[in-house]
Amino acid sequence: MDIIVIYSGKFGERVIGNLINYSTFCTACADACTHCKEAKYGFADRIKGLFNLPEPSQLPAFIEDNADEYLPNELPEVGIAIVSEIHNDLLLDLPRILKDAGIKAMIVPQESAAMIARSQVEEICDEERIEVAFPKPFCDLHLESQDEKPMIKKFVSEFGIGRPKVSVEVDRRGRIVHVEVQRSAPCGSTWFVAKQLEGTEIEDKRELYDRISKSHHSYPCTASMEKDPELGDTILHRAGYIIREAVDKALR
């Protein structure tokens, strides 16, 4: 499956960097880097277009009849579009453009508490027969919940990103020896958390959760620390709970 990314802001750049997996993308471990991701994957050849749009703050509050002025003129025919942090009015106009290009699905990650026209976009996508998902945050994109969205399900499976999934190797003393990343958060933070958990005692839940939380916060995640009305918490905290749940599930 090939993809395109249509984005504004830093989060789209992080997702692109993680998908390409270039050698200097992740610098979280600094001098202690063991190149844990090196040659494990790389999807540069699957990305057929990167479209960096002006940030919403740089555009008029309302864009009515001239949305085409800001959107790409032509899009390659691919399986899916990742659409990150673009202006609401452009998002409303995008399904029509995707359909004309033969694109069957789009994922719209929500990494900030900014309100988006979700219900309207879902209605338009339904009319245009385009699959759509709004994970909040992107690392809450469930493989299991996409049975009625085969293109999105295929994306999660083939690219190995979405809701994190790991396996954990524990020694006889009850210490974590190795954490294998089977599916990563789209920003790549799962790899860093996995590395930082080595040597942690699994019976000491406080130490384990503190290590997960500190390592997750140390990675340059771009999820918002602004309280989200729908979640009742910050999106960054939600992302932290998701990786903690993944580790707990692996240990069970």
Residues of the chain with pLDDT under 70: 145-146
Strand partners, 167: 180
- pLDDT tens digits along 75-102: 999 999 999 999 999 999 999 999 999 9
pLDDT recorded at residue 194: 95
Query: Could you give the CA distance from residue 137 to residue 193 in angstroms, rounded to a whole number?
Result: 17
Neighbours of 241 (CB within 10 A): 15
Beta-strand pair 105-107/80-84:
parallel
**What are the start and end residues of each CATH 3.40.50 domain in the chain?**
3-159
Quick one: pLDDT at residue 86? 95
**Torsion sign over Cα 139, 215, 220, 231:** positive
Residues paired with 132 in a beta bridge: 106
Handedness of CA 121, 220, 154, 50 (dihedral sign): positive
Report the distance separating Cα 170 and Cα 177, nearest Å. 5
pTM above 0.75, yes or no: yes
Q: How far apart are CA 4 and CA 51, in angstroms?
A: 8
Tokens (6 digits) for 234: 């910050």
- Concatenated DSSP letters of 192-247: HHHHHTTT-BSS-HHHHHHHHHHHHHHS------SEETTTTEEHHHHHHHHHHHHH
Peptide bond into 137 cis (omega under 30): yes
CATH 2.115.10 is held by the domain 3-159:
no
Q: What is the pLDDT of residue 131?
A: 96
Distances from the Cα of 65 to the Cα of 89, 90, 97, angstroms: 10, 11, 14
pLDDT confidence of residue 115:
81
